[in-house]
């Protein structure tokens, strides 16, 4: 069964510093991978997704992620974070049965001045 | 498009009362998902529908929870009777059915059971 692991529950970072949020997946078949962001008191919204093709995926708000099949990873990166990036970030994998997703436990990104 | 609409946005009720949460998916989407989010358990998929038919309800905690989708534009999640441990934020999401499609989340219903 497909699953994702987000090892970091919290990541503090200073404004304008780079950040990487880690996600590893397990799957025996081809994968579709997603990153969603949840701002305080809101629902989740899509940042980016990998379906096929180029392994470097660019998303909204300057985020990007790289699909690495050999390391079964899909880490999210941003070269320079802003205070407004403070949010919880969820990695997810398509699990089949229509459009079912399995979400990771989330990583709380806290950007400080 | 108005996005996924959920009501109510906040609900406070007493233990033992019936609670009904409502969701209107995005027009044209034929998959609908109900999630529950708590600090302790994170984001959990409760049930999802394809073309108004429940496909997987293995995440529904127990018989006190039920969900229906009488038509393509409306779904309900009912808790009867409610218990304090049901306190959580409940999200509805919708998407097209094909794998890889984006799920669009509503703003959530924050439920507090006293």
Q: What pLDDT digit, counting tens, does each position of A68-105 carry? A: 999 999 999 999 999 999 999 999 998 776 788 999 99
pLDDT attached to residue A95: 77
Chain A residues whose beta carbon lies within 8 Å of the beta carbon of residue B99: 32, 94, 96, 98-99
* Token pair in block for residue B6: 């959920």
pLDDT attached to residue B99: 81
Cα B68 to chain centroid, rounded: 10
Q: What is the DSSP string of B12-78?
A: EE-TT--EEEEEEPPTT--EEEEEEEETTTEEEEEEEEETTEEEE-TT--STTEEEEEEETTEEEEE
Contact assessment for residue B14 and residue B86, using Cβ atoms and an 8 Å cutoff: no
Among the partner residues A98, A101, A106, nearest to B55 by beta-carbon distance: A98
Question: What's the Cα-to-Cα distance from B95 to each of A65, B45, B69, B78, B88, rounded to whole Å?
Answer: 22, 14, 15, 22, 23
pLDDT attached to residue A31: 85
Count chain A–chain B contacts defined by CB atoms under 8 A. 60
CB contact under 8 A, A43 and B4: yes
Contact assessment for residue B31 and residue A98, using Cβ atoms and an 8 Å cutoff: yes
pLDDT attached to residue B30: 92
- Whole-angstrom distance, CA of residue A85 vs CA of residue A20: 13
How much is the average pLDDT of B66-87? Answer: 97
Q: Which residues of A touch B (CB under 8 A)?
A: 32, 34, 42-46, 49, 51, 90, 94, 96-103, 105-106
pLDDT attached to residue A63: 97
Could you tell me which of A10, A20, A14, A24 has the C-alpha nearest to residue A76? A20
Return the residue of A nearest to B108 by Cα.
A43
Res. B85: pLDDT tops 90: yes
Question: What's the Cα-to-Cα distance from B27 to each of A85, B9, B31, rounded to whole Å?
Answer: 30, 20, 11
pLDDT one-digit tens code per residue, B9-33: 999 999 999 999 999 999 999 999 9
Contact assessment for residue A106 and residue A90, using Cβ atoms and an 8 Å cutoff: yes
Contact assessment for residue A104 and residue A90, using Cβ atoms and an 8 Å cutoff: yes
Among the partner residues A49, A90, A98, nearest to B50 by beta-carbon distance: A98
pLDDT attached to residue A100: 87
pLDDT one-digit tens code per residue, A20-55: 999 999 977 778 999 999 999 999 999 999 998 899
CB contact under 8 A, B102 and A49: yes
The angle formed by the CA atoms of residues A15, A18 and A21, to the nearest 5 degrees, is: 110
pLDDT attached to residue B110: 97
Chain B residues whose beta carbon lies within 8 Å of the beta carbon of residue A99: 31, 95-101, 103
pLDDT one-digit tens code per residue, B38-64: 999 899 999 999 999 999 999 998 899
Among the partner residues A51, A99, A106, nearest to B95 by beta-carbon distance: A99
Chain A residues whose beta carbon lies within 8 Å of the beta carbon of residue B48: 97-98, 100
> With a CB-CB cutoff of 8 Å, which residues 21-40 of chain B face chain A?
31, 33
pLDDT attached to residue A97: 67
Res. B1: pLDDT tops 70: no
Q: Say which residues have a Cβ less than 8 Å from residue A53's Cβ, sequence separation at least 6.
A: none
* Token pair in block for residue B25: 């998916």
The beta strand positions in A1-113, using DSSP E, are 3-5, 10-14, 19-21, 24-26, 33-38, 44-50, 56-58, 64-68, 73-78, 87-96, 100-103, 107-112
Strand pairing class (A56-58; A64-68): antiparallel
Among the partner residues A42, A99, A105, nearest to B31 by beta-carbon distance: A99
């Amino acid at each position: 069964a497909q699953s994702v692991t987000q090892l970091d529950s919290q990541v503090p970072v200073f404004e304008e510093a780079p950040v990487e949020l880690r996600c590893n997946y397990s799957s025996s078949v081809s994968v579709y991978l997603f990153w969603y962001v949840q701002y305080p008191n809101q629902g989740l919204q899509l940042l980016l997704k990998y379906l096929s093709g180029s392994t470097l995926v660019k998303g909204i708000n300057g985020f990007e992620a790289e699909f690495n099949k050999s390391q079964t990873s899909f880490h999210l990166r941003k070269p320079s974070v802003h205070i407004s990036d403070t949010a919880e970030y969820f990695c997810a994998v398509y699990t089949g049965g229509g459009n079912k997703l399995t979400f990771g436990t989330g990583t709380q990104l806290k950007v400080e001045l | 498009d108005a996005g996924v609409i959920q009501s109510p946005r906040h609900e406070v009720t007493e233990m033992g009362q019936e609670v009904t949460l409502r969701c209107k998916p995005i027009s044209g989407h034929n998959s609908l998902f109900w999630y529950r989010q708590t600090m302790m358990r994170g984001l959990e998929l409760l049930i999802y529908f394809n073309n108004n038919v429940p496909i997987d309800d293995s995440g529904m905690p127990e018989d006190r929870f039920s969900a229906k989708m009488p038509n393509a534009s409306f779904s309900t999640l009912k808790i009867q009777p409610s218990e304090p441990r049901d306190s959580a934020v409940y999200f509805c999401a919708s998407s097209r059915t094909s794998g890889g499609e984006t799920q669009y989340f509503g703003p959530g219903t924050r439920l507090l059971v006293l």
